[in-house]
Amino acid sequence: MGTHRHRRHSTELKLRLVQMYLSGEASLNGLAREHDISRNLIRVWLDKFHKGELSEKVDRAEKVREYEVKIAALERKIGQLTMEVEVLKKLRQIRSKKNDPPSVVSGPSVFPLRKGAGS
């Protein structure tokens, strides 16, 4: 056996190997050796197949859930970036009112304290 960890196998391959085993075309050991897959993994797929958890329909539903999670994360990132852009626009407006050019080295200038405010 190879040292492959956490490889992903297509549902099509899983179903094909399960069907080959169930039809008697190949033994568990033969399939494992031929595809460099653990016999126990094929047994897991057989168990899932018998429970109805291994099908193209289930695979599509899982992919939809994965995509929904990714979309939600991207939407959160877009919201964060939008807020950052709005803050930068406001800073630019404040700066343009003061006619104070931004400094690349020191960043935005600090608003001066009113006399007597710090003491």
Cβ(52)–Cβ(37) under 8 Å?
A: no
pLDDT the model gives residue 11: 87
- Reading the chain (119 residues) residue by residue, the pLDDT tens digits are 455 566 788 888 999 999 999 999 999 999 999 999 999 999 999 999 998 888 878 778 888 989 999 999 999 999 999 999 999 999 888 877 766 566 666 666 666 656 665 55
- Burial 38-55, CB ≥16 within 10 A → b, else e: eeeebeebbeebeeeebe
Report the predicted TM-score, pTM, of the whole model to 2 decimal places. 0.48
pLDDT at 94: 82
Q: Where are the alpha helices (DSSP H) in the chain?
A: 11-23, 28-35, 39-51, 56-98
- Give the start-to-end residue ranges of the domains of the chain: 8-54, 63-99
| Cα separation, 52 vs 46, whole angstroms | 10
| β partners of residue 107 | 103
Looking at residue 57, what is its pLDDT?
Answer: 81
